[in-house]
Structure 1
Amino acid sequence: MTNRIRNTLISLSLFAAAGTFSGLSNAGDAAHGETYTAACAACHGADGNSAMANFPKLAGLGEKYLLQQLKAIKSGARSVPEMTGQLDALDDEDLADIATYYAGKTMQLSGSNKQTVQLNSGLKVDGLALGAKVYRAGNAESGVPACSGCHSPRGLGNAPAGYPRLGGQHADYIVKQLKDFRAGNRTSDGEAMPMRGVAQHMSDAEIDAVANFISGLN
């Protein structure tokens, strides 16, 4: 299969996933959702801006995406050990309210850092430059599509389609998620497997570089 055909198929699967996400109801009550977030604040921050890089920022990720992930975690379709039992007593309406609350918050930027990464060839390159290239244009040689196609050029995501905001997220968290998608340990991207389809072609250097670039994107 040529890279052009493979990239086309991946792009089609991304649009198919958007249709899956868009079927989720997200008419939540933010005020009611806030009443459940006291327990969330310890890891994710009172306003959804986690201070710890191993816990994701939830602020501004988008209602549909947040609701889809909360449902996946509750059902066990997505394994997050730290969340075990946290959602058991909540129904779909409660989850929708929580999603609406965090979606209405503003994500604070983590910020990118100067970085050098080593390619599989052994060549060491500017990580920020590599991250920007992969995010904006992908890697045609290995079949990695541009992240900006779904998550927007500024990393703001596509809330109606269910694609989360990435810009400003913790780099360490993004690295872990991409590696989990690549290894098949995270499967909550639906039957179309858009993120698994992308991550399987990414090298460690590309993952580290694009995560660092994204953390300062806005």
Structure 2
Amino acid sequence: MRKIAFTLFLCCSLLAFAEGNPEAGKEKASVCAACHGPTGVSNNPEWPNLAGQHADYLIKQMKYFKEGKKRSSPLMTPVMADLTIQDMEDLAAFYTAQPRARLTTPKQYVKPGELLYRGGNFEKHITACIACHGPQGLGNAEAGFPVLSGQHAIYNIQQLEAFKSGKRTGDLYDMMHDIANRMGKEDMEAVSYYLSGLH
């Protein structure tokens, strides 16, 4: 708990908000639309919804893809290669202004997903997701915690698996690696499908 509190303090103290031009971002997003949809809502559940995501979080992820170290993708890394910081800020400003996706949670995942999201799992030492991502899955922009509400479950499962394996890094103090490392497949599925319909 102290680690989370310190992280929140540190992020709030150091994080500067991105200042991009959403109109310029809309133009630049025409390339992104092929995978992420014209307004940042993807039709492919393996590709993330970007609409309504925190601008600073989007910029951080774009930088990671550009560097190809903390996050690497044969699709994203080449796309990011020629982007400037201004391009990233413009894209982020456009996507953060778009309405989030409104997905639904399959009935069988509502109860187990809610229990894990809101209460964690004491026996497995899984921290409740609500601590960082909030009661409605809207995250915390100042602290750098992303919006998870309305995100594709399959994408979220892939990311939890990537955190668990160490393929994805870059989260503060490896918090997501520590949490995902304690989660089984059923845990990942339950919380991911729950989040897709959490509004």
CA distance in 1, matches of 2:60, 2:167: 17
Aligned equivalent of 2:107, options 100, 108, 114 = 114
Q: Deviations over 1:176-218 (max 9, x none)?
A: 001110111100214x112112111111111110001000000
- Whichever of the two has the greater Rg, that structure is 1
Unpaired runs of at least 5, structure 2: none
Task: Give 1:30's aligned residue.
Answer: 22
Q: Deviations over 1:67-114 (max 9, x none)?
A: 100111111121122113112121111111111110111111221113
CA distance in 2, matches of 1:71, 1:19: 20
Displacement, 1:15? 2.9
Question: Does the C-alpha gap of structure 1 residues 18 and 195 become closer, same or farther in structure 2, counting only changes over 3 Å?
Answer: farther
Q: Any conservation in 2 of the 1:10–1:194 contact (CA below 8 Å)?
A: no
Task: Give 2:77's aligned residue.
Answer: 84
Aligned equivalent of 1:155, options 94, 115, 137 = 137
CA distance in 1, matches of 2:51, 2:40: 5
Unpaired runs of at least 5, structure 1: 1-7, 116-126
Q: Any conservation in 1 of the 2:126–2:183 contact (CA below 8 Å)?
A: yes
How many equivalent pairs are there?
198
Displacement, 1:10? 5.0
Task: Give 2:115's aligned residue.
Answer: 133
Displacement, 1:58? 0.2
Q: Any conservation in 2 of the 1:182–1:196 contact (CA below 8 Å)?
A: yes
Q: Deviations over 1:149-193 (max 9, x none)?
A: 111101111122221111111000000001110111100214x11
Question: How does the TM-score come out when normalised to structure 2?
Answer: 0.92
Deviating above 6 A after TM superposition, structure 1's stretches of 4 or more consecutive aligned residues are: none
Between the aligned residues of both structures, percent identity stands at: 36
CA distance in 2, matches of 1:104, 1:158: 16
Q: Any conservation in 2 of the 1:14–1:194 contact (CA below 8 Å)?
A: no
